[in-house]
Amino acid sequence: LPTPKISPSMLSSDFANLASEAKFMEDCGADWLHMDIMLFYSENSKVKRFNILPRESKFLKLVRLLKAFLDCHLMVTNPADYVMPFAKAGASSFTFHAEVTKDSWPELIKSIKSSGMQAGVAIKPGTPIEDIFPLVEGEDSVDMVLVMTVEPGFGGQSFMPDMMPKVKELRRRYPNLDIQVDGGLAPSTIDQAAAAGANVIVAGSAVFGAKDPAGVIKILRNSIER
Ligand code: DX5
Ligand code: ZN
């Protein structure tokens, strides 16, 4: 299995103290920091809700000072517009959603990688893995696949165990691929994800809500390493 990486979701952190929260997570043993960027458009293309926008890339720069690996998960409809701003802001990896940009996948991956970031592709619970095989196998291929284990939108939702067959099949096909799971990961659900073959673990509420975040990170890591 590729190296385990524990990536606490900063969505559950105190945004007003993002830099110190990031530092705290590093001290707790986090490998990566998961940054959720959500931008949902309503019918009239008005912004419904958002977290971190490229305009707020100062935040990313701030966290960059800590030398953390910034694992950026872009739940946006137009990821191509974000590649340069995120590269400039110091993002380490750029994960886009497969559901949004079918036509321009190769170009998108190429631009992410040529701007110095790792490329990842995410799939929502309703999206079959077959859709993304070409992105893993193609010439300009992704470094990571993110299998969502909740519907994107919020932290603190329940883990969907029925996503594990997707992880299992991806692991069977691609022994060296980074496979990330995101949503509802906690000490109570990690063993299922580990058994299926996930090695990159996002956890928001389970880490930030814990009395002993370092202890939770250790439990998550041990389960993958076992
Ligand atoms: C959901 C986000 C997740 C979320 C996970 O849209 O992609 O990263 O923060 O939070 P937990 O770990 O609390 O389910
Ligand atoms: Zn996420």
- Cβ(51) – ligand 1 distance below 6 Å: no
Q: What is the CATH number of domain 5-225?
A: 3.20.20.70
pLDDT of residue 44: 42
pLDDT at 67: 81
Q: In the numeric block, which tokens belong to residue 90?
A: 């110091």
Ligand 2 (ion): residues with CB under 5 Å are 36, 73, 182
- Ligand 1 atom having least distance to the Cα of 156: 13
Arithmetic mean of pLDDT, 50-65: 65
Q: What is the pLDDT at residue 42?
A: 37
Q: Whose CA is nearest to atom 7 of ligand 1?
A: 152
Across residues 82-95, what is the average pLDDT?
90
Inter-residue contact 140 to 118 (CB < 8 Å): no
| Global ipTM | 0.98
- Interval between CA 139 and ligand 1 midpoint (Å): 30
* Report field, pTM of the whole predicted structure over 0.90: yes
Once rounded to an integer, what is the mean pLDDT over residues 207-219?
98
User: Which ligand ends up closest to the CA of 220?
Assistant: 1
Per annotation, catalytic residue among 31, 143, 178, 182? 182
For position 90, what pLDDT does the model report? Answer: 87
Active site residue 27: no
Catalytic residue chosen out of the listed positions 14, 31, 36, 178? 36
Residue 158: closest CA among 183, 126, 127, 193 = 183
- Within 8 A by CB and 6+ apart from 14, the residues are 21
Atom number in ligand 1 closest to CA 184: 14
State whether the beta carbon of 205 lies less than 6 angstroms from ligand 1: yes
Mean of the per-residue pLDDT values for the chain? 89
Residue-range domain boundaries for the chain: 5-225
Nearest 5°: the CA angle 6, 116, 173 is 55
Instruction: Indicate if ligand 1 lies below 6 Å from the C-beta of 31.
Output: no
182 carries an active-site annotation: yes
Question: Which atom number of ligand 1 is nearest to the Cα of residue 204?
Answer: 12
